[in-house]
Amino acid sequence: MCPESGKRDANDETEPSYIRKVTELEASLKRKTQLEETYLNQLKYARADLANLQKNTERRIDEGVTKEKERLIMQILLIAEELDLAVEEARKVSNINILEAIEMVKRKLWNVLRNEGLCPIESVGKPFNPHLHEAVLEIETLDHPEGTIIEEVSTGYLIREKLIKPSMVKVATTPRPNVARRKRND
């Protein structure tokens, strides 16, 4: 604009073209920077999702392996217990060769089970725990405190502190007064 006339000069535009170009480039750069930040954030979230997926997959695989291992150990455990019974029977008939062979197999089998984390539950003399024991009989006695396990019918087992087979036990209970005896004395 010419200051005296108030008219625009032919060379006078509202903004010179290079300033417009710089403004356009700055706006374009700003848009691209925002887009870049958006992509970077999406990448970070995708990486976090991938890490979580990997952890979940590993956890599920571990759980599946543990369940299958427990299932297998339960089957082997039944065989091991039957071997225990076979050893007892072989002792009764006094066949030393059979007894030694069965005991050797039994020791190897129990070593495998122990190495896989199987451990027996110690029950006799301990207080009854419904999470570890299954009471098959209550025996009235004054020789043991009430709730104490006095005999183990079948051994229970844990695998790494997880119950896979409860102990079958006989539990002490205090004798109850005989109602019939009381009526005769009255």
Q: What is the CATH number of domain 119-186?
A: 2.30.22.10
Q: How far is CA 84 from CA 109, 117, 158, in A?
A: 11, 19, 18
And the tokens for 100?
Answer: 């030694």
- Flag whether pLDDT at 13 surpasses 90: no
- Flag whether pLDDT at 52 surpasses 70: yes
Query: Mean pLDDT score of the chain, rounded to an integer?
Result: 84
DSSP three-state, residue 118: strand
pLDDT > 70: what percent of the chain? 88
CB-side neighbour CA atoms (13 Å) of 36: 6
User: What does the pLDDT average to over 94-113?
Assistant: 81
Beta strands in 20-124 (DSSP E): 118-120
- Look at 32-36, 75-79, 85-89 and tell me which has the smallest mean pLDDT: 85-89
- Flag whether pLDDT at 163 surpasses 90: yes
Domain ranges of the chain: 119-186
